[in-house]
Copies of this chain bind each other. A is one copy, B any other.
């Protein structure tokens, strides 16, 4: 809409000429910011910036994690906000400069030496599909405010539900912003099913306080959920693990029997398909048997491991997941999507509406009073914490449509194989100790040379932590640590499918060389408090 054409609209009787002139200028400035030509020109620059950035990272150019202290980086980011625009530089040049800064100052997930947290370098085109959702801004609280975004979401939900072993007609699924929010929503539902009056009247104030029984290595968001939902984080009862840190069904059975004897209500059992610290897959069939016998809600946090449903080779790890009451799956983990794109599934459709109930006449009544309840099934806001959402599933739908579902199997198979490869390499080395044989693409291990083998445990832990810090600060690799049974160990999630065996060999060499340069007697833990 060219600004000239708007002057005709600008004829309210009580405005002054000066106000009219200012309003006209204002509309011109706004039209310039919304100029479609600018979208084309800036978009082209974006395409080439992103292409170059991805290519550079893939080749291993630069550091995995750039340096700079947080305060300094904040000051730098702030400087752009208050800078007077250079009139001589065109908008698209400045756009390109800002994009260039943004991509160069982040962590380089596409770098093959990125072997850190469970955040992947996404299939790049997914991010471009997401941009289509962002520019058109499909809100999705109700179907009307994002009809294609909801169609895409539900199409993918149905495909994934079938892989869970469920009929799309009987189950229900939704997309939401992250595994933490999805796990919270699932446990809220379980709480409301266990205590139907809790939503309106609050948690019961009499009788033994209810508990959630959770895999002892469960992600912190499950414990947080107990805090948020008013149960209290102490009401998380850890379920014992077997030697591979999988939930032990026998231990679970004992715990549930004890709860029954004590009269303690159990809101849910939370199991893992791909636990956070080591990527362990719980034996879901045996766990589901136990839960069914005790009539308890089974929630499976498959945020990490759910992607293995796409792999013929690995889907057996999720055997029994069809018997869960609720399942969480992060597409931004093992389906290699940009964050955040999480799915929450309920085996029984009706449970999807047990999480929330509310009156929002300005929102849902247009839909409710003009169509049947079938329409409400597509009003996403009734089932999610989010009111306005975003087209979270455009990327996954687009990449799936372009490359076919086999790409996801390839990706899962590739990174799972990499973990096996690294495990073999570490096992062969004298000076490393793999803590567990990986079930997924997460591996924990320690460096242990002669000087460390007889050192006290806290020194060995401090050494691993210091080793990690040294390597990460050098920018050569990005890996992390975790704590297992009180000991700090190195941890890697092999999230980059382009990390090669040669990169893994370099990782070992880098860790070894760095470790040998560390004086055990000078470790921070020994030097001070």
Contacts and interface: CB of A to CB of B under 8 A. Distances in A.
A202 B229 CA distance: 8
Contact of A340 (B55, B206, B357, B390): B390
Interface string A354-395: 001111111101100110001101100000011111110011
Main SS at interface, chain A: helix
Interface stretch (A70-78, A287-295, A317-325, A431-439): A70-78
A455 interface: no
A432 B147 CA distance: 31
Given A85-B403, A95-B402, A365-B482, 17 more contacts: A34-B110, A42-B47, A70-B151, A74-B154, A84-B404, A94-B401, A98-B397, A105-B147, A124-B135, A127-B133, A128-B131, A131-B131, A200-B233, A203-B203, A203-B230, A230-B231, A365-B483
Given A200-B227, A407-B29, A105 B148 contact: yes
A102 interface: yes
Interface string A410-428: 1101100100010010000
- Classify chain A: how many residues form its interface, as a range: 35 or more
A491 interface: yes
Interface string A108-149: 111010001111111111111111111111110101111111
A108 B138 CA distance: 9
25 contacts: A8-B502, A11-B501, A27-B414, A30-B411, A39-B50, A42-B128, A43-B43, A46-B47, A53-B135, A70-B374, A78-B159, A94-B402, A95-B125, A102-B133, A106-B146, A110-B136, A130-B131, A133-B338, A137-B332, A178-B387, A184-B385, A200-B227, A202-B232, A219-B360, A220-B363
A410 B480 contact: no
A148 to B, nearest CB: 4
A414 to B, nearest CB: 6
B131 A66 contact: no
A156 B81 contact: yes
Contact of A202 (B51, B235, B405): B235
B81 A38 contact: no
Contacts of A52: 36
A528 interface: no
A130 to B, nearest CB: 5
A340 B340 CA distance: 11
